Amino acid sequence: MSGRGGGAGSDLTWSVLREVKCAELEEAADGWGRVSNRADAARDRIEGQFLPGLRDAQKGEAAGAAVGRLRRLGTNFQYIYTECGLLRTTLNSLAHEIKAQQRVLQGALDDAAALKFTVHADGSVTYPAGGEGLVDGKPLAGGTASGVPNPGMVTPSGLVAPNPNAGKAQDIADRVAQAVRTAADADWRYTRILRSLKAEEGLGVPAATWTDAAADAAAVRQAAHNYLKDAIPHDATPAERKEWWAGLTDEQREEYLAVYPDQIGNLDGIPALVRDAANRDNIQLLMGKLEGRDDDESATKLAALREIDRQLRTVPKPGEPPMYLLGIGDQGNGRAIVSYGNPDTARNVAAYVPGLNTSLDYEFAKGDLKRARDTAAAAREIDQASAVITWLGYDAPQSPDGLSSLAVAGTARAETGGRAFNGFMAGVVASNDHDDPHLTAIGHSYGSRTVGAATQQGDGIPGVTDIVLVGSPGLGVDQAEDLGVGSDHVYVGAAENDVVTKLPSKERGVILGIGHALGPAGSLVVDMANRGDEGLWFGRDPASEEFGGRRFGTDAGPPLIGPGGLSSDAHSQYFDPELDSASAGSIALVATGRGHMVQQVQAR
């Protein structure tokens, strides 16, 4: 059929449509699928066998050059996998649409044969005499009806043909015309897509090529939405999504991964290995998409994606937790969910929620991911079956220039983030291999407010039995027991010099500037005398005796105003084993279900 498309100007006829062998299109799709799978397997061998083996066995410039070439080869195989997967889905989707119109056509032809009507080559339908004339009672003359591709668009004339066969013939002719027109349109659309699915010459796969691949994927998604998209269970529970995925054939899974890596990779309940595979492809498409833009926001997100991609391609050293990309996206301030250790096979899974000023930027890719990586490394020394996740699945409040009132944060983002976090944790429960895994929620800064909001929704955070709160400006609740896990399972870290943990309550209206770094500009007003008042911006101080949690020891951290000027570093070192070993060690103990071993210190 290819080449016949062109809408109304198409030379497709009903007889050609009837004879199209869709099985041949599907066989071709299978062939491209085999090529895609082989490319994927080759990429896995490069990244899982060749690169680690070369790194462990060889040193020096030659080995470094070989590593670079192998990585480029792996990228090439990834591109082949993506494009061939798109080809397969394009052909299968075309066959799907053509078969649907063949069924419409065949139904019309069968009705014509049953009525002994004649369907001509041009789609018109001749019908015999029938009925009775009002004057002489003789059968009314037959005639020929010409089909209208879109009969609903034709204004009724108000006249009714007296021969009862006329209406039946018109209906048949319209159905034939509609099937031919719809098939011709599909042929035209898919021909354009197939012509665009081609690689540039040469062995390299530069950023521009991935930009083209992103456009290819968008075009295939738009064309194939009736074939695949409607079946993705977005409104189902994570457990139902897991069951849906398990019930698909291998070919169906491969097609979803090729065409909808963004949706499958971010769908809670889908196995971690599948999400990781989808998102490793999706991050390439996202980078290609952002490469074509020149605004500051795109540049910021692109820098983060490049750094995450670099880390994904870095072979972990022996003993280091492997990295899994469980979510990635450019919506809002950006999304990224990264696990160190496989959360499906781990007995202990902890999820860390970052806070104010966190977005998909280079600092997140370096700093926030390191917090989870450091915690995972410490946890795996205690229990190897542990995984720790950085969860940026919501839009954390942003503070322009690092200076603003915390009032801009409000609670709306925490409430929205809490719902998303609960959905993610429900997915962890659904996909985990263990009957009763130990799950921990860790909230830092405004992330603790998000965790607090999650505990107040529905039945609380699914599966979570321990909660860790560090650098918290309050949770929105006044008692540890209100978090739903028991006060003995709520652990609080509050550094002496972390001003965020001493924020005055809303009623006192104090301005506070906090961020990844405060910087020297601007003025900062902090009521350092807020020591006897346990009320913080978002409720009672979690480190207070009245709150009732278990406070663990932390390093005091650098003072707010020191020899080097203004510093918020005390707010950011809770996870760092070198800067705050007491806090980092306590978090690791809780993450492995050993909270009873955490050494408590006096509450405020």
Instruction: Compute, in degrees rounded to 10, the torsion defined by CA atoms 337, 340, 346, 347.
Output: -90
pLDDT band at 152; cut points 50, 70, 90: low
| Look-up of token digits 């391609």 | 313
Q: Is residue 557 classed exposed, middle or buried when 0-12, 13-18 and 19+ CB atoms within 10 A define those classes?
A: buried
Residue 374 and residue 576: Cα distance in Å, rounded?
Answer: 7
- Token couple for 443: 């909230």
pLDDT tens across 554-569, in order? 999 998 887 777 778 8
- Mapping DSSP to helix (H, G, I), strand (E, B) and coil, where does residue 491 land? strand
Q: Which residues of 303-341 are buried (b: 16+ CB within 10 A; e: fewer)?
A: bbbbbbbebbeebeeeeebebbbbbbbbeebbbbbbbbb
For residues 121-132, give the mean pLDDT. 89
Top mean pLDDT of 9-23, 126-140, 281-295, 385-399 is at: 385-399
Residue 182 and residue 151: Cα distance in Å, rounded?
Answer: 13
Residue 132 and residue 163: Cα distance in Å, rounded?
Answer: 8
Long-range CB pairs of 107-113 (<8 Å, 24+ gap) are 107/175, 108/172, 108/175, 108/176, 108/179, 109/14, 109/18, 109/176, 111/168, 111/172, 112/169, 112/172
Residue 164 and residue 185: Cα distance in Å, rounded?
Answer: 33
Please give the pLDDT value at position 409. 55
- Token couple for 389: 């996740």
Look at residue 526 and tell me whether its pLDDT is greater than 50. no
Nearest C-alpha neighbor of 311 from the set 282, 335, 330, 339: 339
Q: Please give the C-alpha separations between residue 223 and each of 93, 185, 194, in angstroms, as whole numbers.
A: 8, 11, 11
pLDDT tens across 171-182, in order? 999 999 999 998
Element (H, E) at 1: none
The better pLDDT of the pair 318, 310 is held by 310
Residue 267 and residue 61: Cα distance in Å, rounded?
Answer: 42
Complete DSSP assignment for 449-471: HHHHHHHTSTTSSTTEEEEEEES
Please give the pLDDT value at position 8. 39
Q: How far is CA 260 from the centre of its chain?
A: 9
The better pLDDT of the pair 308, 161 is held by 308
Residue 490 and residue 485: Cα distance in Å, rounded?
Answer: 7
Complete DSSP assignment for 281-340: HHHHHHHHHHHT--SHHHHHHHHHHHHHHHHHHSPPPTTSPPEEEEEEE-STT-EEEEEE
Q: Which of 198-212, 317-331, 358-372, 576-590 is least confident? A: 198-212
Are 279 and 312 a contacting pair, CB within 8 Å?
A: no
Element (H, E) at 550: strand 550-551
The mean pLDDT of the chain is: 84
Are 461 and 483 a contacting pair, CB within 8 Å?
A: no
Residue 330 and residue 342: Cα distance in Å, rounded?
Answer: 24
Please give the pLDDT value at position 7. 42
pTM: 0.74
Please give the pLDDT value at position 519. 37
Q: Are strands 561-562 and 550-551 parallel, antiparallel or unpaired?
A: unpaired
Residue 430 and residue 461: Cα distance in Å, rounded?
Answer: 13
Look at residue 443 and tell me whether its pLDDT is greater than 70. yes
Q: Which of 209-213, 561-565, 592-596 is least confident? A: 209-213
pLDDT tens across 36-76, in order? 888 888 877 887 777 776 666 666 677 667 777 777 777 77
pLDDT tens across 314-369, in order? 878 778 899 999 999 999 999 999 999 999 999 999 999 999 889 999 999 999 99
